[in-house]
Amino acid sequence: MSKNKFNKDWLQDHLNDPYVKMAQKDGYRARAAYKLKEIDDQDHLIQAGMTVVDLGSAPGSWSQYARNRLVELGKKNPLIEPGKPDGKIVAIDLLPMEDIADVTFLQGDFREDEVLRQLEKVIFTENDQNIQKVDLVLSDMAPNLSGVAVADAARMGHLAELALEFSQAHLRTDGALLIKCFHGSGYSQIVESFKKVFKIVAPRKPSASRNRSAETFLLGRFLK
């Protein structure tokens, strides 16, 4: 198949994709919002009063969904101002991201000490004695794929390790981490890494994730 034919087929699929149309209708920046929604509907990840950290957040659809869900939950709490979320969302990415109401965004690399300190300052108040205060870490991060399986697996594994390390340092013991990964070379190693950190580890393949895609999601809950 020629590259032009492939691009035309992808564009046609994209334009006809029901989730793309739903995203446009619902005001989401990407169809990825529905992947998180489906997993959240199944696993009840987002709860009132939570602190949620979205790693690799751009363009922002996961942060948008988390914010909308916390606004819904805020309606049940008379102490929450109408239209405001019952919880806190902090997003971070190397790339710029357009503002989202009630979401604190930091542009930078959380592997760098200075950026990590900025992130912790946003997450925690000065009175916090225990830094493990995050309830949910989300990561829809993916590397730029080269098509070379071994190299791509290494890049994906590295991102998974980064999310795991961050979660070990900042999650509450009853917290959760949800990441994107890909079936294939390196996947079983990521699962094993999760099992060393979390009591419950479960793969998730939402219907919004295209069947022909190797993309899957891995959920870890309750730190060991």
Radius of gyration in angstroms for the set of CA atoms belonging to the chain, rounded to a whole number:
18
Catalytic-labelled residue, pool 180, 195, 196, 199: 180
pLDDT band for 12, please (50, 70, 90 cuts): low
Domain ranges, ordered by start, for the chain: 30-223
Told to judge if 180 belongs to the known catalytic residues of this protein, a careful annotator would answer yes
Distances (CA, A) of 41 to 1, 73, 216: 39, 13, 17
H-type alpha helices, the chain: 3-16, 18-26, 32-43, 61-74, 113-123, 149-170, 187-197
Whole-angstrom Cα distance, residue 172 to residue 162? 17
pLDDT tier, 154 (very low <50, low <70, confident <90, very high otherwise): confident
Q: What is the pLDDT of residue 6?
A: 45
Secondary structure class of 180 (helix, strand, coil): strand
pTM score of the predicted model? 0.89
pLDDT over 70, % of the chain: 90
pLDDT in tens, 13-23: 656 788 888 88
- Please state the length of the chain: 224
Q: Quick: pLDDT tens for 70-93.
A: 999 999 999 999 999 999 999 999
Within 32-77, where are the H helices? 32-43, 61-74
Helix (H) / strand (E) element for 221: namely: strand 215-223
Mean pLDDT of the chain: 88
CA gap 90, 78 in Å, rounded: 23
Above 80 in pLDDT, residue 144?
no
CATH for 30-223?
3.40.50.150
Residue 82 CA from chain centroid, whole number: 26
Query: In Å, what is the CA distance from 192 to each residue of 138, 140, 197, 222?
Result: 19, 19, 9, 15
Cis geometry, peptide bond prior to residue 59 (ω within 30 degrees of 0)? yes
8: amino acid identity, one letter: K
